[in-house]
Structure 1
Amino acid sequence: MSGSYEPLPQDNYWMKQAQLLAAHAAAQGEVPIGAIVVRDQAAIGLGWNRRERLQRITEHAELMALKDACDQLHSWRLDGCDLYVTLEPCLMCAGAIQQARIRRLIFGASDPKTGAIHSKWHSYDIDGLNHIVSWTAGVRDEACSQQLKLFFRQLRWENKQKEEILGGRGARRRKAKGQSP
């Protein structure tokens, strides 16, 4: 896997900061993913998922952090910047990260369903890319994974409670229409 490197000493600190942004997303009912663009050991771009609230497919944490950093630098080129994100980016975000010329991508949890760096696809291993993004996986992996698991466990519990409060009306409606639950 070209471009993968061992974590640097500051990676743990910045990933903790990204986790705080992920917690902010969760508090708003969003999937808890947080992202921070760092340049010269200063945060210049912050992002968290806003897809559900704004109902826009592009409101991913990574894209929000990249946009914020571009606004701060008045440039689409984020040369010399690192991006910390709590979950392995999807294809859309991996492309934007590469196009923004991010120097280094650091992520926490791997995503076996849609991860575009090393889990499902290997986006940065394509020959001929005009910019190579170095990346590090697994920084605070367990903590990032746990944050996601707790969120989805809570969401499933809330959905079950709603179903019970409604007295199974959703199940009765499906049965009346001849649909299986």
Structure 2
Amino acid sequence: MEGGSRKVCENKGINGGRAPGDGGAAGEAIVYCDFFMRAALAEAARALEEGEVPVGCVFVRVESSTITQAQLDTTSSANCATLEKLIVARGRNATNRECHSLAHAEFAAVDALMRNAVACAGESGDTGKSIPASLADYVLYVAVEPCIMCAAMLLYNQVKKVYFGCGNPRFGGNGTVLRVHMPCKAGENNGVSDSIAGYESCGGYRAEEAVALLQRFYSHENANAPPGKRKRKGVLRERSNC
């Protein structure tokens, strides 16, 4: 169901350090759902088709991740349709297409999340109260471990939890290179230290599939690279940009 990969979790304190799905106090348990990781990998595959580094992600609301495991294990088409509706935003790498170094999958998904929220608020005549001020109510599924920049963006926007596929040995911000997702001090304001709680991060879900997509990208010349930098890559470099 989960691709057979070894799971690595770094916990900021939720559920006493137990792995996802182990339970805990009411309202705290966030259960991994393989459907959402497969959706993130589908976005990564779309990025590959567009000549981008194959990284994709999806956001789901926290309450969507507390569905019972029995429901998650159901593979009926009706259940899949229900899970599909729980995805509130999608994103995929578009740094070449957008000619912008910030067009990483995670940023694209946050942008889509905000656009969707604004559109829904406008349709309902909402005054803006339904537009999220942070990512505290959302869980991110991403094919590759967030880079340091994206991990910091998720930290400062208070994402609830991150599930990722393969690690990012060059730029990983969720434990492979740096532990950006861990609690930290943001500085002092009027003599009072401000702290950031951090978020829980678990990796290794369908990692082989994420690596396979990256291998397909790096085994060919990158037509979108500047002429002087175009060359065939004979070895895997898991993620040159996120």
Which structure 1 segments of 5+ residues have no match?
A: 160-169, 171-181
How well do the aligned residues superpose, as a CA RMSD in angstroms? Answer: 2.4
Deviations along 1:64-87, whole A, 9 cap, x unmatched?
111111233323412221001111
SS in 1 for 2:196: coil
Q: 2:50 aligned to 25, 28, 48, which one?
A: 28
| Conserved? CA contact 1:22–1:86, under 8 Å | yes
Paired residue for 1:111? 168
Q: 1:152 to 1:5 in 2, by over 3 A?
A: farther
TM-score (norm 2): 0.60
CA distance in 1, matches of 2:158, 2:184: 16
Q: Report how many residues are paired.
A: 160
* 2:19 is the counterpart of 1:6: yes
SS in 1 for 2:184: coil
Higher relative contact order (CA 8 A, sep 6+): 2
| Conserved? CA contact 1:105–1:134, under 8 Å | yes
CA distance in 1, matches of 2:133, 2:95: 22
Which structure 2 segments of 5+ residues have no match?
A: 1-9, 22-30, 65-85, 118-130, 186-194, 225-230, 232-242
CA distance in 1, matches of 2:97, 2:140: 24
* 2:121 is the counterpart of 1:55: no
Q: 2:211 aligned to 137, 141, 145, which one?
A: 145
TM-score (norm 1): 0.79
Identity over aligned residues, as a percent?
25
1:52-131 equivalences in 2 (<5 Å) = 52-73=96-117, 74-128=131-185, 129-131=195-197
* Aligned-pair CA distance for 1:7: 4.5
* 2:59 is the counterpart of 1:46: no
CA distance in 2, matches of 1:99, 1:5: 24
1:157-176 equivalences in 2 (<5 Å) = none
